Chains A and B, each alone.
Chain A
Amino acid sequence: KAGVTQTPRYLIKTRGQQVTLSCSPISGHRSVSWYQQTPGQGLQFLFEYFSETQRNKGNFPGRFSGRQFSNSRSEMNVSTLELGDSALYLCASSLRQGIKYEQYFGPGTRLTVT
């Protein structure tokens, strides 16, 4: 079974631009969660999608948004990029809704904002 895939793997953007990251979960998994990882803040939960609906949300500004499609693929969008948005963005998929279940992480998208 193929693992979680994320595209692109690396991205360089300029302040003020917007970016869209993509995540394809493991086949059969319907829950997708997004995380931001930085050296200073560690791993922080962004949001979780299940059945095309956002179910849970972390403490991030509205510039961070996401969506999920009927095939469970998910996208995350960050608008008006700031230097502090530079991070590794990880998505994780799970069989069922809720972060109480084990999650399988993708390799991440490394975003650099200049």
Chain B
Amino acid sequence: QQPVQSPQAVILREGEDAVINCSSSKALYSVHWYRQKHGEAPIFLMILLKGGEQKGHDKISASFNEKKQQSSLYLTASQLSYSGTYFCGTELDTGNQFYFGTGTSLTVIP
């Protein structure tokens, strides 16, 4: 039930855009996105609830397609501070089961 993220790793130059995908084989109620820098705790980015809404703040946004059990995280005009590992977390529609994704390592270079 662990959601699969793609790509596993990506390297960007400052200012470039990136998309990180999260896919589950189970029906989802919510999708969470977190970023973790090396040696630090994960930091909450956003939650998307069932309903297909899109959320965002600053240059980071996300969408949730509940029919496909997929979510995508969009990073536009990337900054050096965006580097880290991004995790999606999925809450199943059947109850309070929560699974983190496999993680996507994102590196932004000057």
Contact = CB atoms under 8 A, between A and B. Distances in A.
A and B part of one assembly: yes
Interface of A: 4, 33, 35, 42-45, 48, 55-56, 58, 90, 98-108
Contacts of A105: 41-43
Contacts, number: 54
Given A105-B42, A108-B41, A100 B49 contact: yes
Interface string B12-52: 00000000000000000110100000001111100101000
Interface residues of B, number: 22
A56 B96 contact: yes
Interface of B: 2, 29-30, 32, 40-44, 47, 49, 87, 89, 91, 96-103
B96 A55 contact: yes
B47 to A, nearest CB: 6
10 contacts: A35-B100, A43-B100, A45-B97, A56-B98, A98-B96, A99-B89, A100-B30, A100-B47, A105-B42, A106-B41
